[in-house]
Amino acid sequence: MSERSLRESGLNENYFELFALKQCFAIDTTALEGQYRQIQSKAHPDRFVTASSTEKLQSMQLATLANEAYQTLKKPASRAKYLLTLNKIDAIEETNTSMPADFLMQQMEWREALEDYKAAKDIDGLENLMKEMRQVASALTNELNHLFDEKNDLTSATATTRKLIFIDKVCEDINKAITQIED
Amino acid sequence: MALLQISEPGMSAEPHQHKLAVGIDLGTTNSLVATVRSGMSTVLQDEHGRSLLPSVVRYTADNGVIVGHQAQAKQSEDPINTIVSVKRFMGRGMKDIADKAHIPYRFVSNNTAESASQGMLQIDTRAGLKSPVEISAEILKTLKARAEKALGGELIGAVITVPAYFDDAQRQATKDAARLAGLHVLRLLNEPTAAAVAYGLDNAAEGVYVIYDLGGGTFDVSILHLSKGVFEVLATNGDSALGGDDFDHRIYCWILDQTREQNPNKNPLNEEDTRLLLTKARQAKEWLTDNDEAQIIAKLSDGFAIDLALSAETFIELTQNLVNKTLSPMRKAMRDAGLELTEIKGVVMVGGATRMPHVRHAVEDFFQQEPLTNLDPDKVVALGAAIQANVLAGNRSDEDLLLLDVTPLSLGLETMGGLVEKIIPRNSMLPVARAQDFTTFKDGQTAMSIHVLQGERDLVSACRSLARFELRGIPPMVAGAARIRVTFQVDADGLLSVGAREETKGIEASITVKPSYGLSEEQITDMLKSSFGAAETDKQARALAEAKVDAMSIISAINIALAQDGHLLSELEKNEINASIQSLEQTLTTEDSHAVHAATEALNETTGAFAAKRMDASVSRALAGKNIDEVDLK
């Protein structure tokens, strides 16, 4: 569906407003789930199986938007990135590549560890690395709570968001490596 | 065709308006049809009181078609014309079928498929070439007839279940089969989700549940979060070519090995013998569920006698690696859902193959809890599908059941170097739409080939090709300057459509993904024509009747909407809509189906903004309601 047709659905495209949530980083995830289900209980195509084609189209568009919005707000990294987008900041813009030197060093070590475990087909090693990544991600998420909601420091929040996105990517690659070994 | 009644979304139909809708489990080994009667989901039986319809179709010498038990009884006698487990061939080409030598059919590659290099395979029977879609349609027709007889009227539609791990080609083939059988598909529903609905509602289950569904030919594992009538699929995985049939096949190979060991000069088997031994293998497998040893006794067509004893221990040795093949999808699903074993509240066993003790043990070991087997693994999918059909038909108030499902496999397209760029990742919630921009590779490039793929691997050659189409008329520019926006959209049936648009000139191309392994629109029309034996005038009359039914349904839906939500419109808007309704009504007195279509389209167009306002209002009401609830809780 194009952006154009999403707009035609007449609903506000701000994901926080869509779910009647306050625009901030530390959202109430239980409320998000509840509101998401409320919207889908009205908008899901299953509710419009016998309706006119116009209503089917509307339902399809709103249900799609709600899914996209829900997925975006559910995960801290995508939520942070989205919050920055609303502030006209592109966290993963190509020109925006600066990273503190210590984090870059740390990154390289994790990457090397990942490659080593992968080569040794060491699933336990990979799973431990995953646990470490989750701890780092959780610390970064706490940092973002503070930077977005208390200090409104978008510059620092951008840097931290980039770190979190990076950690997510490592987690994804760890999962891929485990899957490859298991297959 | 009967006039379809349309009920307003959000309003339950009056009791006397109960619409006949069924759930169909189109299985590899057996198929079932169920419906909701007096609030209870019930499997419908045939005139002999049997619930299961063996998914076996036989083409007889007198041009007849026999489906079910009678066909199954002849499978060893007439194997070439008696098709079992046809589901394994749905949406599949010749190269997908691994062990053709041990399947007693004459497979034919479909070379008439216009788009892809290989079409869906066909089977040469005495009734001519039959595609798996046509064969499946025979099973669906039988179930439709059973349901209409039992319910005493024409069905308004059916929910048909498919393995969650079915890809787009297999789903499309299933939908085509329903269409050939004259069934209106309300929704394609994933089998494990259907099972979860039946189990969850029956047991008032809340929390995270795993559905382990090992059927005759397919394996699915789905992880769902159940909460107050909402069934949210968190992740799904599986193997669409792994099931009970494979266990039979291992026993069959063991029988051959044993026989050859004892008699090295034994004649090769003919098709009758192959089918006979496969049947004996299945019986031995079933016997071993409750016994320690199975006796396999068979007399082959050349008079050779087989008499073997298969112990449960040997059976486990032969098949343990098949059971282990289900572990990897379970691990993947758990990882995708981001869950720990301790978070799983229950594991529900579905599918006849889960009766095997070593399957149950493997699941118990994996999840560290005893799986739930307190329901009939053969029926639970059909029962769940019937519940969903009842809701979709509008027989039940809409507040109490909502299924949120996902796409099982990643979808993407081919980029330079034979690589796949993923556009929609697996386990995305449906419906979903994603767009991504691509650009040209060469200076002055004016066309682009869009190759749509499904699968998890990075290489095109390791993924399933779904379709190819071309976008032409790109204005010549230097390489990398053009902006081609490709959009992928997957609907609630899990079916994909893809569009491409050149952004500077607005050239568009789009398709509903279909051709590679499906039937072309033309083929379906031809089959429908030949099956109805309709003359050209009949076709026109049918088109006119359908167009009128369509028009009347929409007028009725809009009138109800106006009565309920007319206050959302200005007088001017109301007048416009009423005028549009009147023009459509005028065309209904004519015999011109094109005019009816055009006026229907026009009415749809006029009411677009109204539909959007109603949707907004409905959602706002829902969210407002939710907020009040929250206040009450505090």
Task: Please confirm, yes or no, whether B25 is among the known catalytic residues.
Answer: yes
CA distance A98 to chain B (A): 25
**Kind and range of the H or E element at B147?**
helix B132-151
Query: ipTM of this predicted complex?
Result: 0.88
Instruction: Read off the tokens for A35.
Output: 């509101």
Provide the pLDDT for residue B90.
93
**Best-predicted range by mean pLDDT among A16-20, B609-613, B624-628?**
A16-20
For B604, which of A38, A52, A59 is closest by C-beta distance? A52
Task: Please confirm, yes or no, whether B47 is among the known catalytic residues.
Answer: no
DSSP category for residue B476? P
Question: Mind listing the pLDDT tens digit for each residue in B343-388?
Answer: 999 999 999 999 999 999 999 999 999 999 988 999 999 999 999 9
**B43, B45, B35, B67: which is closest to B54 by C-alpha?**
B67
Question: What distance in Å separates the CA atoms of residue A172 and residue B10, rounded to the nearest whole number?
Answer: 41
Total number of residues shown for chain A = 183
Q: Is the pLDDT of residue B517 over 70?
A: no
Q: Are A174 and A126 in contact (CB under 8 A)?
A: yes
Mean of all residue pLDDT scores within chain B = 86
CB-CB under 8 Å, B186 with A39: no
Question: What distance in Å separates the CA atoms of residue B458 and residue B285, rounded to the nearest whole number?
Answer: 39
CB atoms within 10 A of CB B33: 30
Q: B186 pLDDT band (50/70/90 cuts)? A: very high
Say whether the peptide bond before residue B431 is cis (omega within 30 degrees of 0). Answer: yes
Provide the pLDDT for residue B398.
52
Question: What is the per-residue burial (b if ≥16 Cβ within 10 Å, else e) of A122-159?
Answer: beebbeebbeebeebbeebbebbeebbeeeeebeebbb
Question: What distance in Å separates the CA atoms of residue B236 and residue B241, rounded to the nearest whole number?
Answer: 16
Provide the pLDDT for residue B13.
42
- Residues with Cβ within 8 Å of B417's Cβ and at least 6 positions away in sequence, in order, are none
Question: What distance in Å separates the CA atoms of residue A46 and residue B601, rounded to the nearest whole number?
Answer: 22
Q: Is the backbone of residue B541 left (phi > 0), alpha (psi -120 to 50) or beta?
A: alpha
Question: Mind listing the pLDDT tens digit for each residue in B545-593?
Answer: 778 877 887 887 888 888 888 888 898 899 999 999 999 988 888 888 8
Task: Please confirm, yes or no, whether B87 is among the known catalytic residues.
Answer: yes
SS (H, E, C) chain A: CCHHHHHHCCCCCCHHHHCCCCCCCCCCHHHHHHHHHHHHHHHCHHHHCCCCHHHHHHHHHHHHHHHHHHHHHHCHHHHHHHHHHHCCCCCCCCCCCCCCHHHHHHHHHHHHHHHHHHHCCCHHHHHHHHHHHHHHHHHHHHHHHHHHHHCCCHHHHHHHHHHHHHHHHHHHHHHHHHHHHHC
Instruction: Decide: helix, strand or coil at residue B208.
Output: strand
Over residues B231-245, the mean pLDDT reads 94
Provide the pLDDT for residue B44.
97
The pTM (predicted TM-score) of the whole model is: 0.84
* DSSP letter string, B29-83: SEEEEEEEETTEEEE---TTS---EE-EEEE-TTS-EEESHHHHHTTTTSGGGEE
Q: How far is CA B472 from CA A72, B117, B123, B319, B513, in A?
A: 34, 22, 37, 52, 18
**B268, B247, B389: which is closest to B318 by C-alpha?**
B247
CA distance A101 to chain B (A): 31
Provide the pLDDT for residue B512.
59
- Residues with Cβ within 8 Å of B583's Cβ and at least 6 positions away in sequence, in order, are B599, B602, B603
Instruction: Read off the tokens for B368.
Output: 């560290």
Q: A67: which chain B residues are within 8 Å (Cβ-Cβ)?
A: 428-432
Nearest CA in chain B to A20: B623
CB-CB under 8 Å, A19 with B399: no
Question: What distance in Å separates the CA atoms of residue A112 and residue B220, rounded to the nearest whole number?
Answer: 35
Tell which of B615, B628, B631, B634 to mutate to test the A interface (max A CBs under 10 Å): B615
Q: B423: which chain A residues are within 8 Å (Cβ-Cβ)?
A: none
Q: Give the full edge-to-edge strand order of the sheet including B207-214.
A: B346-350, B207-214, B219-227, B230-239, B402-404
Q: Is the pLDDT of residue B113 over 50?
A: no
Q: Point out the residues of chain A with pLDDT beneath 70.
A: 1-12, 93-98
**Kind and range of the H or E element at B261?**
helix B244-262
For A58, which of B398, B558, B611 is closest by C-beta distance? B611
Q: Give the full edge-to-edge strand order of the sheet including B56-59.
A: B65-67, B56-59, B82-84
CA distance A37 to chain B (A): 8
Catalytic residue (one of B19, B46, B78, B87): B87
Question: Mind listing the pLDDT tens digit for each residue in A111-163?
Answer: 999 999 999 999 999 999 999 999 999 999 999 999 999 999 999 999 999 99
**A163, A170, A167, A16: which is closest to A91 by C-alpha?**
A163
Instruction: Read off the tokens for A14.
Output: 């701000």
Point out which residues pair with B115 in neighbouring strands. none
Question: Mind listing the pLDDT tens digit for each residue in B592-604?
Answer: 888 888 898 889 8
- What is the distance of C-alpha A78 from the center of its chain? 2
CB-CB under 8 Å, B487 with A2: yes
Half-sphere exposure of B633 (CA within 13 A, CB side): 7
**Gyration radius of chain A's alpha carbons:** 20
Q: Are B349 and B371 in contact (CB under 8 A)?
A: yes
Question: Mind listing the pLDDT tens digit for each residue in B496-514?
Answer: 888 888 887 777 766 656 5
Q: Are B237 and B290 in contact (CB under 8 A)?
A: no
**B228, B181, B456: which is closest to A180 by C-alpha?**
B456
CB-CB under 8 Å, B431 with A10: no
Question: Mind listing the pLDDT tens digit for each residue in B25-64?
Answer: 999 999 999 999 988 999 999 999 999 999 999 999 998 9
Amino acid identity at B366: F
Question: Mind listing the pLDDT tens digit for each residue in B375-428?
Answer: 899 999 999 999 999 999 888 765 579 999 999 999 999 988 888 999 999 999
Q: Are B500 and B508 in contact (CB under 8 A)?
A: yes
Torsion of CA A126, A127, A133, A138, to 10 degrees: 170
Burial of residue B65 (number of CB atoms within 10 Å: 0-12, 13-18, 19+): middle
Amino acid identity at B515: P
Q: How far is CA B622 from CA B226, B261, B358, B432, B523, in A?
A: 20, 71, 48, 22, 45
Provide the pLDDT for residue B534.
41
CB-CB under 8 Å, A3 with B615: no
Q: Is the pLDDT of residue B2 over 50?
A: no
Q: Are B84 and B55 in contact (CB under 8 A)?
A: yes
Provide the pLDDT for residue B115.
39
Which residue shows structure tokens 């995708």? B336
